[in-house]
């Protein structure tokens, strides 16, 4: 009936009253003892009644607090105690409501932080995997799932070894959990053809150790390193040949060829040709550098396709005829104008036609054609030349890259790289299809002027 708090204060008070009344009754006359006993009984009854009321008030308040706490535990963050009319209780109600509001605020902040961090982990380019103490995956993000060609739902709960399937990573992950050692290593996933830089970090959870695996895809970086290495090798090759020739010609002139005017003139012509070759290499390097860095302004304007293709073809028609090649152009009349820098677009056409002339044997055929394709104007330069191998085809647009068969054909190996950057600066695409020994077709696209706001 009474709460412990009420008993704690009521019982001593009743005891004091009873003792006092007993003392008074002991010394009072007999006719007053009945009156004292009656007064004592009335006082005790009043005290007990007040105690019952106070106890019920506290019990009711505790029941309300319990119900509100159950609602809070069930996820109802808006649950609160209603204000009390009884004095002395309002401060407890207010304190409880403030504590509930503070808890709700902290939970909202924590929930938002979880959402933000989950979004960050989901969209960063690095792969993140959390492995528990049993070696099973508790979490992995989208990047990690893509690296190992799996789905997030399929990977969760599986062992790290089942998903990764790389013995080097598996051994380091086990060492991370077993010995709590942090490590960083580079691995290559052969089945995907990608290179990864992995960092494995032990995480202490109570008495057990989890492992956090952070994966960075360095495939593109490796490719850039390969391109840079090949670029240095190729540019050295291209410059070494004319420099060696110049050195030999100068030595010959010093050894007495100057005294033979006809021979001296021939050597000077050779020197001039080698200097022109080096000058062309340097000029194309500078042009490529300016194009890649965006320092060459692209002045786009609506342009008829014929105004781009025909001037570039006519400049090279005589060269094609000297090589014994048939050069034809097919441009439909209903193609829309394109948005292009006419001079730069002609350079692309010229580079592609010039390459086709160089690598097409006598009696071959070169055809330029265009069509409307997927809301773009598609241009193609098709030849019946030597073709390009499957190994060389993906790299032909790299700077200085030349297939072995093409090395005897001269040139700097920069023309296709320049063409690629010009087309990309126009918002188009460029690619090639080829069968070795059966010719090649180079494609590039330009955007129609009518679709540009």
Question: Average pLDDT, whole number, for the chain?
Answer: 80
Distance CA 400, CA 281 (A): 10
Share in percent of the chain as helix, strand, coil (round to 5): 55, 20, 25
Alpha-carbon dihedral angle through residues 177, 179, 184, 186, given to the nearest 10 degrees: -70
- Does residue 12 surpass a pLDDT of 70? no
**364 confidence band (pLDDT: 50, 70, 90):** very high
pLDDT for 338 = 93
Q: Please give the pLDDT value at position 405.
A: 43
Higher pLDDT pick, 99 / 310 = 310
pLDDT, residue 26, reads 58
Query: What is the rounded average pLDDT of the residues 197-217?
Result: 88
pLDDT tens by residue, 289-339: 776 666 667 888 999 999 999 999 999 999 999 999 999 999 998 899 999
Structural domains of the chain, ranges and CATH numbers in brackets: 4-107 (no CATH), 124-217 (3.30.450.20), 224-293 (1.10.287.130), 301-451 (3.30.565.10)
List, in sequence order, every residue forming a beta bridge with 328; answer none if it has no partner.
Answer: 367
Closest CA to 399 of 307, 302, 287, 322: 287
- 8 Å CB contact between 199 and 172: no
**Per residue in 234-251, pLDDT tens?**
777 777 878 888 888 888
Q: Is the separation of the CB atoms in 80 and 94 below 8 Å?
A: no
For residue 171, give Cα distances in angstroms to 59, 159, 160, 167, 177: 62, 13, 10, 6, 10
On the question of pLDDT at 389 being above 70, the answer is yes
Q: Which helix (H) or strand (E) holds 211?
A: strand 208-217
Q: CA distances (Å), 188 to each of 64, 163, 167, 192, 374, in order?
A: 63, 15, 11, 9, 37
Strand segments (E) across 304-429: 326-330, 338-340, 365-373, 376-383
The partner residues of 245 in beta bridges, in order of sequence, read none
Quote the CA–CA distance of 181 and 172 in Å, as a whole number: 9
Which backbone phi and psi does 209 adopt, to 5 degrees? -115, 125
Among 86-100, 136-150, 216-230, 283-297, the range with the most confident prediction by mean pLDDT is 136-150
Q: Residue 82's pLDDT is what? A: 65
Phi, psi angle pair for 452, to nearest 5° = -100, 125
CA distance 445 to 423: 8
The dihedrals phi and psi of 297, each to the nearest 5 degrees, come to -65, 135
CA-based torsion, 156, 162, 164, 169: positive or negative: positive
| The pLDDT value given to residue 438 | 86
- pLDDT for 406 equals 43
Burial class, 317, CB count within 10 angstroms (exposed 0-12 / middle 13-18 / buried 19+): middle
Residue 301: left (phi > 0), alpha (psi -120 to 50), or beta? beta
pLDDT in the model for residue 1: 47
**For residue 353, pLDDT beyond 80:** yes
Report pTM.
Answer: 0.51
- Which of 136-140, 266-270, 316-320, 330-334 is least confident? 266-270
For residues 30 and 278, give the distance between their C-alpha atoms in angstroms, rounded to a whole number. 140
Q: What is the pLDDT of residue 453?
A: 43
Per DSSP bridges, beta strands 194-205 and 208-217 are antiparallel
Paired residues of 211 in beta bridges? 131, 202
What distance in Å separates the CA atoms of residue 347 and residue 368, rounded to the nearest whole number?
15
**Residue-level pLDDT at 452:** 47
Residue 349 has pLDDT above 90, yes or no: yes
Tell me: pLDDT of 447 over 80.
yes
Position 70 scores a pLDDT of 77
pLDDT band at residue 408 under the 50/70/90 scheme: very low
Nearest to 97 by CA among 111, 84, 81: 81
- Indicate whether 220 pLDDT > 50: yes
> Average pLDDT in the 209-222 region?
88
**35: pLDDT strictly greater than 70:** no
Average pLDDT over residues 29-35: 61
pLDDT score recorded for residue 19: 64
């Amino acid at each position: 009936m009474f709460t412990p708090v009420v008993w704690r204060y009521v019982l001593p008070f009743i005891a004091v009253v009873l003792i006092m009344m007993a003392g008074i009754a002991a010394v009072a006359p007999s006719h007053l003892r009945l009156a004292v006993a009656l007064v004592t009984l009335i006082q005790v009854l009043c005290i007990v009644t007040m105690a019952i009321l106070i106890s019920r008030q506290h019990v009711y308040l505790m029941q309300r607090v319990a119900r509100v706490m159950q609602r809070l535990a069930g996820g109802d963050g808006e649950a609160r105690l209603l204000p009390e009319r009884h004095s002395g209780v309002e401060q407890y109600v207010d304190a409880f409501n403030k504590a509930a509001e503070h808890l709700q605020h902290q939970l909202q902040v924590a929930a938002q932080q979880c959402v933000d961090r989950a979004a960050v982990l989901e969209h960063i380019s690095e792969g993140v995997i959390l492995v528990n103490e049993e070696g099973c995956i508790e979490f992995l993000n989208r990047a990690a799932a893509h690296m190992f060609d799996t789905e997030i739902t399929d990977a969760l709960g599986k062992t790290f070894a089942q998903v990764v399937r790389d013995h080097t990573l598996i051994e380091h992950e086990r060492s991370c959990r077993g010995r709590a050692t942090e490590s960083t290593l580079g691995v290559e996933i052969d089945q995907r053809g990608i290179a990864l830089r992995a960092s494995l970090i032990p995480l202490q959870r109570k008495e057990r150790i989890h492992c956090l695996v952070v994966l960075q895809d360095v495939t593109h970086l490796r490719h850039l390193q390969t391109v840079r290495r090949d670029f240095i090798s190729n540019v050295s090759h291209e410059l070494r040949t004319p420099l060696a020739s110049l050195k030999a010609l100068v030595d010959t002139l010093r050894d007495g060829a100057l005294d033979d005017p006809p021979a001296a003139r021939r050597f000077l012509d050779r020197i001039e040709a080698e200097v022109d070759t080096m000058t062309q290499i340097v000029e194309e390097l500078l042009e490529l550098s300016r194009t890649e860095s965006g320092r060459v302004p692209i002045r786009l304007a609506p342009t008829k396709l014929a105004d781009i293709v025909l001037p570039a073809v006519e400049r090279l028609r005589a060269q094609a005829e000297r090589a014994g090649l048939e050069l034809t152009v097919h441009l439909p009349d209903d193609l829309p104008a394109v948005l292009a820098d006419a001079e730069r677009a002609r350079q692309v056409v010229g580079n592609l036609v010039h390459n086709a002339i160089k690598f097409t044997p006598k009696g071959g055929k070169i055809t330029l054609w265009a069509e409307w394709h997927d809301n773009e104007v598609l241009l193609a330069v098709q030849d019946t030349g030597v073709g390009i191998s499957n190994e060389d085809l993906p790299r032909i647009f790299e700077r200085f890259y030349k297939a072995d068969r093409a090395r005897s054909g001269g040139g700097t190996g920069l023309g296709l790289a320049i063409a690629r950057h010009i087309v990309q600066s126009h918002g188009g695409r460029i690619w090639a299809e080829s069968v070795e020994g059966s010719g090649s077709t180079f494609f590039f696209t330009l955007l129609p002027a009518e679709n540009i706001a």
